[in-house]
Structure 1
Amino acid sequence: MVVSSCSPENSNIKTEIKIPVSVVTIKPQSISRFIETTGTVYSFKEASIKSELTGIYTLKRNPNTGRPFSLGDQVKAGQELIRIEDKEFQNTLQIEGKRLNLELADNNLKKQQSLYDKGGVTQTELKNSAISYVNAKYAFENSEIQLMKMSVRAPFDGVIVELPYHTDGVKIDQGQSLLKVMQYDKLLMDVKLPEKYLAEVTLNQRVQIANYNVAKDTIYGRISQISPVINADTRTFQSVLQIDNEKRLLRPGMFIKAFILSEKRDGTIVIPKETVISRQDGKVVFTVENGIATEKKITTGLESLDVIEVVSGLKVNDRLVITGFETLRNKSKVSIIQ
């Protein structure tokens, strides 16, 4: 652009105006395309435990804290958390008598087997001894099973998330809620995706998780289940995401965004989306060489939130205009600023 002065004194003075722009040298990069979805996560395992008998309630102490178990405490599978004592119930089980009866039946079976081997008893007498042993064994084991109901234990490694208050030493009834345990070092999320993505979603496909509570941390998951059926009403198919949550940064019930990695390309030309100018005859960008801006028609490929792949029209080491391109024309003279 050349500006000529109309003043007689300056009629021979010409000023060349160069448009200031910023540029970046194009280098091969990677670009990924994601399928974005949202949903609420839930625990990998959970169990609500109720009292299986009537008895005196005692909340056990957590050996790690030295105080009674409370909300948020981590527990191990099989760890005793609550005791329900009922002496009358315990006496009716007659567990010691059944233990002795089992020992007698076992000794008698061994004796009969020895006599049978020597021809001292018939096969019928041996089988009767075996039946007596089996019945005594089942009677003792059933009593042990009933006795175990007095001890409330964690069904798996997890965290106490519900613990209704009951006063120690007070009698509680059968069927009362005692606690709820969750395991959420892994989380699950149900998602419904449009049917157009069915061919792009596969088992064990990587997923990146975003939540405002964990903005500084990167959490990953994978596709663990895919339904092969399309819902005729919604035109979607159901999938299940399994999320690695070892640090327990996410909690069951949180609302999250999930980005399913659909496609990735390495060593390709990637430019900021904002530098692309869309026109009726296609998309263009500007490059600079020897102080001259040149308009380049491009063909694009994969897109992400901020960048876009250029399939044709640009090459590695081209100097792309990233600011100031709005006022450029083909062959405009430019000055490069930092």
Structure 2
Amino acid sequence: MRLKMRYGWVCGLLLFGCETPQTEQSADLTVPVTVQPVGLGTIESVVTSTGTLRPVQEAIIVTEARGFLSLGILAEGRKPTEGLAVQQGEVIARLKNEELVVGARLESRKLAVKNMRKTLDEKEVLVERGLVTQIEAETARKDLVDAQSDYDDALVQIKKTKVTAPISGVLSEFTDATEKTLVDEGTQICRIVDFSQVLVDLQIPNSQIRHIELDQPVRVIDYSYPDEVFDGKISVVDPVVDPTTRTFRAVAVVDNPKGLLRPGMFVKAEIVVESHADVVLVPRELVLMRGNREVVFVEESARAQMREIATGLEDEKFVEVLKGVDEGERLITSNYETLRSRTRVSVAGTEE
């Protein structure tokens, strides 16, 4: 029994002695790697949502009188039709209504105002001379007010025969009525849509609403224009949760200088809730978990050095490093998964 135990102990020594050279050889193994310098950059924390665009303002244009339709001429010399731009105040159409014009008696009412004003001036002079009473002057003043009111009413009636654009925008849903067609009061002529800016309604999850504030920058991306980014900002944050979707509503107003965005488009929006500039960034795939620590490997004097790091913001590509590596250090970017601290490395393109 004693002999067997001694034999086992001797064999153990022999085995241990046989493994020692192999372990030392592993320790001297050189791993080929690539490196890149640690750089500075800007990183953002964003909340992503989607939504449908709507115009920042629009107007439905209807007739305010009955008459025969006659289309106006826009500034560019063309008659209004769908898709053309129109400026606020431009005449879209006119309505010919002789009865309305005659009934307004515009010229006669204008003359009445002129006469009443002259009469009042005369009465005021006579009052100063003591030739008429103040009551007569007040009566003349009342007559002038009434005449002016009648004239203003006539102007309103005449103005109803001219259909003008209340806002600048693009004509849409233009009437099928042709020239000289008799149209009734309340007939829709067109819709004017202003999309120099557009609005997008966003649904924000309960877990993210605490990060959303007014005037935060927003980037909007439409899948039809993958190379275009449209800038905007948060204009509304609804404090009440939607009982149907269990989300909060936020509204972003987005600049649309080229007119590429159109109402009804479905877009992606990124709300920038935090941004850090000129900070140390490393590619997120290079950050490893060793135990409960986040680490990266850097190359120093042909050795891999494991660095524990403290991280900040993250995005899809990069991680902000608050502590652990500095700008300019040589970050190992290949064969890093199995490295240990002090492992010998050879950097591609250099001679050891």
1:41 to 53, 57, 60: 53
Tell me the SS of whatever aligns to 1:91.
helix
1:21-170 mapped onto 2 (5 Å cutoff): 21-64=33-76, 66-170=77-181
Looking at structure 1, the residues matched to 213 and 78 of structure 2 have their Cα atoms a distance apart, in angstroms, of 47
1:270 to 281, 288, 292: 281
Looking at structure 2, the residues matched to 167 and 82 of structure 1 have their Cα atoms a distance apart, in angstroms, of 11
CA shift for structure 1 position 101 = 1.3
Question: Which residue pairs with 2:295 in the alignment?
Answer: 284
CA shift for structure 1 position 27 = 2.3
CA shift for structure 1 position 239 = 2.7
Return 5+ residue gaps in structure 1 as ranges.
1-13
1:218 to 215, 218, 229: 229
Looking at structure 2, the residues matched to 94 and 148 of structure 1 have their Cα atoms a distance apart, in angstroms, of 13
Tell me the SS of whatever aligns to 2:327.
coil
Moved more, 141-150 or 225-234: 225-234
Looking at structure 2, the residues matched to 120 and 237 of structure 1 have their Cα atoms a distance apart, in angstroms, of 76
Looking at structure 1, the residues matched to 107 and 162 of structure 2 have their Cα atoms a distance apart, in angstroms, of 18
CA shift for structure 1 position 303 = 0.8
CA shift for structure 1 position 77 = 1.0
Matched letter for residue 36 of structure 1: T
Question: Which residue pairs with 2:272 in the alignment?
Answer: 261
CA shift for structure 1 position 280 = 4.5
Looking at structure 2, the residues matched to 56 and 232 of structure 1 have their Cα atoms a distance apart, in angstroms, of 50
Question: Which residue pairs with 2:306 in the alignment?
Answer: 295
Moved more, 321-330 or 305-314: 321-330
1:296-315 mapped onto 2 (5 Å cutoff): 296-315=307-326
Identity %: 30
Tell me the SS of whatever aligns to 2:328.
coil
Structure 2 contact 90–164 (Cα < 8 Å) conserved: yes
CA shift for structure 1 position 172 = 1.6
CA shift for structure 1 position 149 = 1.1
Question: Which residue pairs with 2:331 in the alignment?
Answer: 320
CA shift for structure 1 position 329 = 4.0
> Normalising by the residue count of structure 2, what TM-score does the alignment of the two structures yield?
0.84
Looking at structure 1, the residues matched to 222 and 30 of structure 2 have their Cα atoms a distance apart, in angstroms, of 46
Q: Which structure: larger Rg?
A: 2
Looking at structure 2, the residues matched to 18 and 190 of structure 1 have their Cα atoms a distance apart, in angstroms, of 57
Moved more, 42-51 or 274-283: 274-283
Matched letter for residue 175 of structure 2: P
Tell me the SS of whatever aligns to 2:224.
helix
How many residues align structurally? 324
Structure 2 contact 50–203 (Cα < 8 Å) conserved: no
Matched letter for residue 51 of structure 1: T
Looking at structure 2, the residues matched to 215 and 254 of structure 1 have their Cα atoms a distance apart, in angstroms, of 14
CA shift for structure 1 position 132 = 1.0
Larger fraction in strand: 1
Question: Which residue pairs with 2:213 in the alignment?
Answer: 202
The superposition leaves residues 237-270 of structure 1 with CA deviations (integer Å, 9 ceiling, x where unpaired) of 4332111212222112222222222112223221
